[in-house]
Structure 1
Amino acid sequence: MHITPPIAFLLLATLGLNACVSSIKPETKQLDFYDFGLQSNENRVSFDLPIEQLSATDAIQHSNIRYRLNDKNPAQVFGYTESRWSTLPAELLRQKIVNAPSNNTSCNVKLQIAAFDQVFDSASSSHGVVQLQAGLIDRRSRKQLASTLLSAQSTAQSADARGGVAALNAASTQALQQAADWAKQTSQSFSECQTSTLP
């Protein structure tokens, strides 16, 4: 089939335009990664009892920075699309802990992060909430002697991921301090937790 010059020109122009369009990639926003920064002595928490385990529920132990809208549906969980944790929440809390030596008691502490969310009460007001499930464990019998749910919160200074991270940093320190105080006080009620000669 013979193609006249005008038609050939149009075909070439169309092919060239398609090639240009296919070479254009959509602009992608670079993710922002957050942690709790370099820890100072003020942000570190000392435990009198050894920490046997620090974990988080599966819904929390990932890199998404979660938030909730209390004024709309407090049961619905959202995640910031352009912001992520640089490490897992359990590791963020672990970096705050000064652990006790393990040879002076037969009682250990187990901690699990049950909540780790920025909670919005309105479009401009939010706070970070950290909940810890704490348990006191007899290292010999593996029996759980006591347990409790601890909760701490801190006001966010800005209604975004940056403000939420700073609020969760402060709230996690408070929650860990509550756990340390609870473990120390509760262990005094159990003979299993008194000084021992365990290796």
Structure 2
Amino acid sequence: MKTILIVLVFILSGCSVTTPTVTDYRIDPDVTISNKSTNSQKRSIKVMPIFVNTSLATNNMRYRIGEYKEYAFTQSAWSESPNRAIANKLVNILEASNLFHGVYGYKSSKKGDLVLEFSLNEFIQSFNELQNSSSVTLNISYNLIERKTRKLIASKIITKTMQTDSLDAQGGVKALNSILAQTLEETVDWLGENSQ
């Protein structure tokens, strides 16, 4: 009888343990794009899958302390992995920009006249060693290629940093969305200049 009672207490105490909830954050930059052309160009573009390191291909939200230490937030996560969210947002923005006759995501069977390859090299919140200061960094690189000839038309690297308003995941998300919006606006301008 004592054994059954001990097992019952153990089971009930295990059930009463609560795990903290995880907050999912969206990558949803507020991008302002005016129509760059009143008439769509004759060329179309295909946005290839984004190249990222493994940590940016999951929903884990990572942060850095000092130069070398990197961790994952335990109570915060991305609602969609950065590589997918940013690639989808770029396709949507290019469609809205009216720069191209057609804009195709990597899943499309259409090939496009131009191909946009890009790599997300860094997208992270960083704290100093004392953890009393926080900033975010975004680094992205592009190659614009003519599909038929495989000729490189232009390449660009964009790096941006910004201090966060608060020393938590929410402050990091807000700053990352802000510099991503700036980056995507700059990307559209660059494509407009180089896709004629």
- Call closer, same or farther: CA 1:147–1:139 in 2, change over 3 Å: same
Match of 2:39 in 1: none
Q: Which residue, out of 66, 79, 87, partners 1:86? A: 79
- Call closer, same or farther: CA 1:154–1:142 in 2, change over 3 Å: same
Moved more, 78-87 or 116-125: 116-125
- Call closer, same or farther: CA 1:56–1:45 in 2, change over 3 Å: farther
- Call closer, same or farther: CA 1:46–1:154 in 2, change over 3 Å: farther
Q: Which residue, out of 49, 57, 62, partners 2:58? A: 62
Please tell me the root mean square deviation across aligned C-alpha atoms, in Å: 2.8
The separation in 2 between residues aligned to 1:120 and 1:45, in whole angstroms, is 32
After superposition, residues 125-144 of structure 1 pair within 5 angstroms as 125-144=133-152
* Structure 1 residues not aligned, in runs of 5+: 1-11, 188-192, 195-199
The separation in 1 between residues aligned to 2:144 and 2:68, in whole angstroms, is 30
The separation in 1 between residues aligned to 2:22 and 2:166, in whole angstroms, is 19
Match of 1:34 in 2: 25
Deviation at 1:120, TM superposition (A): 1.4
Taking structure 1 as the reference length, the TM-score comes to: 0.72
Q: Which residue, out of 83, 89, 98, partners 1:95? A: 89
* Structure 2 residues not aligned, in runs of 5+: 37-43, 103-111
| Residues 27 and 80 in structure 2, CA contact (< 8 A), matched pair in contact too | no
- Call closer, same or farther: CA 1:176–1:28 in 2, change over 3 Å: same
1:141 partner SS = coil
Q: Percent identity?
A: 23
Taking structure 2 as the reference length, the TM-score comes to: 0.73
Q: Which residue, out of 166, 178, 191, partners 1:158? A: 166
Count of aligned positions: 171
The separation in 2 between residues aligned to 1:34 and 1:46, in whole angstroms, is 27
Match of 1:148 in 2: 156
The separation in 1 between residues aligned to 2:176 and 2:20, in whole angstroms, is 24
Deviation at 1:47, TM superposition (A): 8.9
**Residue type of the alignment partner of 1:101:** F
Deviation at 1:24, TM superposition (A): 2.5
- The structure with more radius of gyration: 1
**Residue type of the alignment partner of 1:164:** G
Residues 54-109 of structure 1: CA deviation (Å, up to 9, x unaligned): 51413211101111113xxx233211011110011133323264214246x94343
